[in-house]
Amino acid sequence: MIQVGIVGGTGYTGVELLRLLAGHPDVSLQVITSRGEAGNPVDRIFPNLLGHVDMVFSEPSTEALSQCDVVFFATPNGTAMHHTPALLEAGCRVIDLAADFRLQDPTVWEKWYGMPHACPDILTEAVYGLPEVNRDAVRKARVVANPGCYPTAVQLGFLPLMEQGLIFFSGLVADAKSGVSGAGRKAALGTSLCEASENFNAYAVTGHRHLPEIRQGLAAISGQSVDLTFVPHLTPMIRGIHATLYARLATPESPLSDEDLHQIFQTRYQNEPFVDVLPLGSHPATNSVRGANYCRIACYRPQSEDTLVVLSVIDNLVKGAGGQAIQNMNIMFGLEEKTGLDLPGLLP
Amino acid sequence: MIQVGIVGGTGYTGVELLRLLAGHPDVSLQVITSRGEAGNPVDRIFPNLLGHVDMVFSEPSTEALSQCDVVFFATPNGTAMHHTPALLEAGCRVIDLAADFRLQDPTVWEKWYGMPHACPDILTEAVYGLPEVNRDAVRKARVVANPGCYPTAVQLGFLPLMEQGLIFFSGLVADAKSGVSGAGRKAALGTSLCEASENFNAYAVTGHRHLPEIRQGLAAISGQSVDLTFVPHLTPMIRGIHATLYARLATPESPLSDEDLHQIFQTRYQNEPFVDVLPLGSHPATNSVRGANYCRIACYRPQSEDTLVVLSVIDNLVKGAGGQAIQNMNIMFGLEEKTGLDLPGLLP
Amino acid sequence: MIQVGIVGGTGYTGVELLRLLAGHPDVSLQVITSRGEAGNPVDRIFPNLLGHVDMVFSEPSTEALSQCDVVFFATPNGTAMHHTPALLEAGCRVIDLAADFRLQDPTVWEKWYGMPHACPDILTEAVYGLPEVNRDAVRKARVVANPGCYPTAVQLGFLPLMEQGLIFFSGLVADAKSGVSGAGRKAALGTSLCEASENFNAYAVTGHRHLPEIRQGLAAISGQSVDLTFVPHLTPMIRGIHATLYARLATPESPLSDEDLHQIFQTRYQNEPFVDVLPLGSHPATNSVRGANYCRIACYRPQSEDTLVVLSVIDNLVKGAGGQAIQNMNIMFGLEEKTGLDLPGLLP
Amino acid sequence: MIQVGIVGGTGYTGVELLRLLAGHPDVSLQVITSRGEAGNPVDRIFPNLLGHVDMVFSEPSTEALSQCDVVFFATPNGTAMHHTPALLEAGCRVIDLAADFRLQDPTVWEKWYGMPHACPDILTEAVYGLPEVNRDAVRKARVVANPGCYPTAVQLGFLPLMEQGLIFFSGLVADAKSGVSGAGRKAALGTSLCEASENFNAYAVTGHRHLPEIRQGLAAISGQSVDLTFVPHLTPMIRGIHATLYARLATPESPLSDEDLHQIFQTRYQNEPFVDVLPLGSHPATNSVRGANYCRIACYRPQSEDTLVVLSVIDNLVKGAGGQAIQNMNIMFGLEEKTGLDLPGLLP
């Protein structure tokens, strides 16, 4: 049994980790910390876990966490980097679901997150945990930076086109729509039902923190810097991300058809347990992955013109957060990758 | 492995049965029929099942179904009663998720369902599958009538009060609210997003088919006929039933407190795997049981006056349909009752 | 032109008052105060009012407000009572949309609102502004207590039955469902989209502040004290209240039919501009009154038994708050009662 | 008073026309036809209109319609073109809210709408009713083609950039999101609450009927053919369209700032009664125009790179249908353009 600790388990990322770990056959949940809820039973905060997680939140303690094989950080940005060195020292492995280890360049990190990085040396060691790209590195990693929700959907969508060199690396567009749970479990007027339901709007159009993460990832895939415009939108639903991606065909005279595109994606992802290329003619829907760890994708060349369109959906809390974190853990500990994650979505 | 067949698997009850059975360790899904979708892969109709149910809908065939140990009917009312005799003959056991075997009196059935009953003799044999009341009878049953969604929430709420003789059996009120999936998977203007979201209304106030079922069940529990008013309401959400129950205290001068009521419910349900009595002060929320097989309950005596209030929630598609059906199957086949159902709800 | 001031215009009651007053032909909006938003343009806080309300929030000032003919208080409970005496002194009339003047007994007020009343002498003078009951008194009132949202829907539903002496005054049940805007414009986890959508739950079952208000109103109507159980529920929509009311027939042997009940309601409300009795067989839906000042009602005797059921819907922000306040203003100033309120609901 | 007729008033476009016309001071509603609902009161189909539209649906009759000054067609595509010639003959003017007169080339119309055009000669005469582009022509038009909902939001967004020659006319992207009411008032599984709420997906990615309309409009604005990719998405809300537009700057070395862009838009739209350019830093939200005839816009150059982003929102049933139709009527009949449309949105 893998001894698992969770730091900061009172957000939606935390409850989703708990829901999935509670059913994981090879995991023993040892400790879950929360400064604010220390002493309170987990199932009082998350009544869906009643009968499934019989634990009490505890004060964060490096000593208690050090007993674990792996520690998940489901904390705000800027927390994990302060605790990771000590945990590594103690022989723990770390999976951070926040952004602390996602950007390799500490200068870029500081610019976007507004604080100096506490352990820039570990940045170089940390592995960006997108299994479809970095599976081998994840296997040996001591520190995994679990990707952001938008970056997961966007990178998996562009990946096959970039690897095949089919598109220009400039003028890329990622128009992304997220359910409200992406904003976290918190009281805020903008995400109240009265303001956010029956409404749709873009936000952070001039610059969102996931932009440098996406660019870094796409640059790693393509071997060159990419020029991408990223616009996130708040969507009146709880879960789900839909990324609509636009790229110009590098060779417009190419006879590339929708069938060809389908085949290219199919070939790339055929052995991936959590990426499904949908049948030709399909439009992936976020509700087909609700509560499940899948990314579902389709790619088209509308009207046979020069712009390709990729449609990519995930559940932001699963493949975009807790599920992918457990997928990374499975890889790190040599388990079958689907262990504990082999669940269909909840429909309707 | 229990060989399982499903008749009529294209509704929401069907997809929920499939989602749960796909993860059930002791079940082998043999056949799933649909007249309308015969020949089509299940995962084309229900994309959430992609990778989990690799089957094709087939034409209904008594012969194929006869090979099964148990057949679930997830069909419209009036279907199962035509096929059940032949299946029993062939040695199958039957769990009907529709209403065909719920009412013991064929005259009452005819009145409310508008057609003669096809096998009234089997009515007497059929067991009403509310495990918290009829567990022993279910164990031996050849035919189980899976309870309606509203009746499940209502009966479990009144049960402890009736068994203890605490309330008058007249003037009972069940004010029940259901998510839209209770209306089934179908195209209808009234359940379209534009009409049913941002809206709330009662329906069938002068008489709903679940009324005689609830009365029959409460009469069986209390040993006498009961007088109940039942008003269902359409609620702008997908899943969930919230029943708010009102009953007058038989002895108004009684000092019965909220604590006493909590204790009475706690005692009644302490060994029930799927009924949770919530801590004093709680108001059960439907989203705490989303996708899960639990009924969660609280009972109060507001302002220490004569009217008791019970709050009872379920997921109409799980404890109110597919989950309870599998719970019944587990009992019928001697399995641990929680097998395949030990899943927390999806929150948020 | 009536010179109008609004105190505390940054909540949903405030924006709804502004939306309606902006189109009122006999109103000149003079001042709108907000301590928190003083100096900010109204249309920055409420972008729907862009081009319609070209005002800036100002610091509360008795002097400025004193210039008005009428001042609306859209403030938290316990505010209006501190400012009303000075405004009356200055010759203003006051309409309070909060609870300060709703309960006639200061002891009861203190018990439910947790603070001493600042001007109990004015309590006796204040008129409870339910026009269908108190139109004449409203006409002459200096201070109008605008009714609560739930109390409006509940009292209008019971009114005809009580006036005709058709029901027992004990064992009454008001099961009420409200959209989330009833909780006000504020950041709170419980009313966030992630927690409140796809969810339904009761709250305050052991005692809600609208209970004494409803009881006081029903007692005034019936001339005797009434025994009522009131359970409010949070419903996953923005606007709307649906009250489902249950009462036992005083003479069960009576042949009273649904048609008779329809006629009784029709007769009572035929001259009311904002109460519609729906055709026999209808179930009033909250979306038929979205954004409009109507209360729509139906009454039935299900299964010809002893319990009557009334269905009553309003928009909690209009007939349950800002619209009714303007209706009261129209009456107070001798205008045609529908002035500025003659708007159909928004459907879909 | 303008004598008005409506053909086909049972859809959402119809009810919205009725809601707005009911409050229009210069309109007398003469006839409203519906083959399916002939003989039924309008307020039975649309209960929000109770007390506001006291009419009965009638069988379509050219004779009755001929008495009107203007006839609105709120019918399916392919209906208005059969009746328009006779109405023009009789001296009526026609505003078609469907697509019959939107495309000037009958060959293109046939390709996208799958039927031959019934009156191609009138196509040349018909005026495309986007007032911000064609106000003068609308004034004199006998036949106005009311623009589609998506095309309205998209064209108003690109307009200032194209008129100023700031962007390349190739590689344009319009990523558009619509509320479900855009699919019309009908029973369909895909737009049921259970399927469409808590869900997001693209549709018609390979080709939507609004694509040729947008291209034709943008070509007319820019004086040259444009290359545009248009992807519509179904959004889990009732009303609202959000178009997110992407275009590459024609001169990337230009120092064009967000302030410059704001000024360009502001200048273009300063005299437009129904287009608001939002303050710098704003993200227009669909709920700010719910029920109102406004288009609200913002334009940015994220990260000072080569791609411009325009955010444009409308209510698809108002500025995207019924409201714009009335705006056109006002222009055609020499009324002040805001008459009957001077209503703020409904928020929350």
Q: What is the ipTM of this complex?
A: 0.97
Classify residue A167 by its DSSP letter. B
Strand order in the sheet with C70-73: C27-33, C2-7, C70-73, C93-96, C143-145, C127-128
Compute the distance between CA of residue B305 and CA of residue B327 in angstroms, rounded to an integer: 38
Chain-chain contact of B197 with D198 (C-beta, under 8 angstroms) = no
Amino acid at site A192: S
Task: Give yes or no for B202 touching A (CB within 8 A).
Answer: no
For chains A and B, CB pairs below 8 A equal 90
Q: What is the mean pLDDT of chain A?
A: 97
* Amino acid D122: pLDDT: 96
Count of C-beta atoms within a 10 Å radius of residue B181:
27
**pLDDT tens track for D277-304:** 999 999 999 999 999 999 999 999 999 9
Nearest to B166 by CA among B244, B262, B249, B226: B249
Task: Give yes or no for A248 touching D (CB within 8 A).
Answer: yes
Compute the distance between CA of residue D249 and CA of residue D246 in angstroms, rounded to an integer: 10
For the segment A225-233, the average pLDDT, to the nearest whole number, is: 97
Give D136's contacts (C-beta < 8 A, 6+ positions apart).
none
CA distance to B17, C75, D25, per residue, from C61 (Å): 64, 14, 38
Q: Which chains touch B (3 or more CB pairs under 8 A)?
A: A, C, D
For the segment C289-314, the average pLDDT, to the nearest whole number, is: 98
- Bond before B348 cis per omega within 30 degrees: yes
Q: How confident is the model at residue A94 (pLDDT cuts 50, 70, 90)?
A: very high
Bridge partners of C298, per DSSP, are C311
Chain-chain contact of A238 with C194 (C-beta, under 8 angstroms) = yes
**pLDDT tens track for C89-141:** 999 999 999 999 999 999 999 999 999 999 999 999 999 999 999 999 999 99
Chain-chain contact of B305 with C199 (C-beta, under 8 angstroms) = no
Q: Which residue of B has its CA nearest to A23?
A: B343
Q: How far off is chain C from A184, nearest CA to CA, in Å?
A: 9
Q: In this structure, are strands C228-234 and C143-145 parallel, antiparallel, or unpaired?
A: unpaired
For the segment A247-253, the average pLDDT, to the nearest whole number, is: 94
For the segment D111-121, the average pLDDT, to the nearest whole number, is: 97
* Amino acid C112: pLDDT: 97
Q: Which residues of D105-129 are buried (b: 16+ CB within 10 A; e: fewer)?
A: ebeebeebbeeebbbeebbeebbbb
* Amino acid A113: pLDDT: 97
What residues of chain B lie within 8 A of the CB of C198, using their CB? 237-240, 287, 290
Nearest to A212 by CA among A161, A125, A156, A150: A150
Give B171's contacts (C-beta < 8 A, 6+ positions apart).
B227, B229, B247, B248, C171, C248, C306, C307
Global pTM? 0.97
Nearest to D268 by CA among D155, D176, D174: D155
Task: Give yes or no for A191 touching C (CB within 8 A).
Answer: yes
Chain-chain contact of A185 with B348 (C-beta, under 8 angstroms) = yes
Compute the distance between CA of residue C259 and CA of residue C301 in angstroms, rounded to an integer: 10
Compute the distance between CA of residue C140 and CA of residue C160 in angstroms, rounded to an integer: 25
What residues of chain C lie within 8 A of the CB of A191, using their CB? 192-194
Give C257's contacts (C-beta < 8 A, 6+ positions apart).
C301, C304
* Amino acid A102: pLDDT: 98
* Amino acid B210: pLDDT: 98
Q: What is the DSSP string of A321-338?
A: IIHHHHHHHHHHTT--TT
Low-confidence spans in chain B with pLDDT less than 50: none
For the segment C180-198, the average pLDDT, to the nearest whole number, is: 97
Return the active site residues of B: 149
Chain-chain contact of D244 with A233 (C-beta, under 8 angstroms) = yes
User: Is D261:D308 a contact under the CB 8 Å cutoff?
Assistant: yes
Angle B314-B316-B317 from CA coordinates, rounded to 5°: 125
Compute the distance between CA of residue D132 and CA of residue B109 in angstroms, rounded to an integer: 64
Q: How confident is the model at residue D271 (pLDDT cuts 50, 70, 90)?
A: very high
* Amino acid B5: pLDDT: 98
Task: Give yes or no for A270 touching C (CB within 8 A).
Answer: no
Q: How confident is the model at residue D107 (pLDDT cuts 50, 70, 90)?
A: very high
- Within the 146-185 window of chain B, which residues sit less than 8 Å (CB to CB) from chain D? 180-181, 185
* Amino acid D335: pLDDT: 98
Task: Give yes or no for B22 touching A (CB within 8 A).
Answer: yes
What residues of chain A lie within 8 A of the CB of D171, using their CB? 171, 248, 306-307
Task: Give yes or no for B186 touching D (CB within 8 A).
Answer: yes
Strand order in the sheet with A275-277: A201-202, A228-234, A172-178, A241-248, A307-314, A295-300, A275-277
Residue with tokens 């009356």: C88
CA distance to A277, C161, C171, C244, per residue, from B306 (Å): 61, 22, 8, 19
User: Is B92:B65 a contact under the CB 8 Å cutoff?
Assistant: yes
For chains A and C, CB pairs below 8 A equal 56
Classify residue C278 by its DSSP letter. P
- pLDDT above 90: percentage of residues in chain D: 99
Chain-chain contact of A347 with B19 (C-beta, under 8 angstroms) = yes
**pLDDT tens track for C145-173:** 999 999 999 999 999 999 999 999 999 99
Q: What is the mean pLDDT of chain D?
A: 97
All structural domains of chain B: 2-125 (3.40.50.720), 150-316 (3.30.360.10)
Task: Give yes or no for D194 touching A (CB within 8 A).
Answer: yes
Q: How confident is the model at residue A183 (pLDDT cuts 50, 70, 90)?
A: very high
Compute the distance between CA of residue D223 and CA of residue D242 in angstroms, rounded to an integer: 26
Helix axes A106-113, A210-222, angle to 10 degrees: 150
* Amino acid A119: pLDDT: 97
* Amino acid C184: pLDDT: 96
User: Is A176:A246 a contact under the CB 8 Å cutoff?
Assistant: no
- R_g of chain B, CA atoms, integer Å: 20
Nearest to C228 by CA among C167, C317, C312, C284: C167
* Amino acid B162: pLDDT: 97
Chain-chain contact of D186 with B198 (C-beta, under 8 angstroms) = no
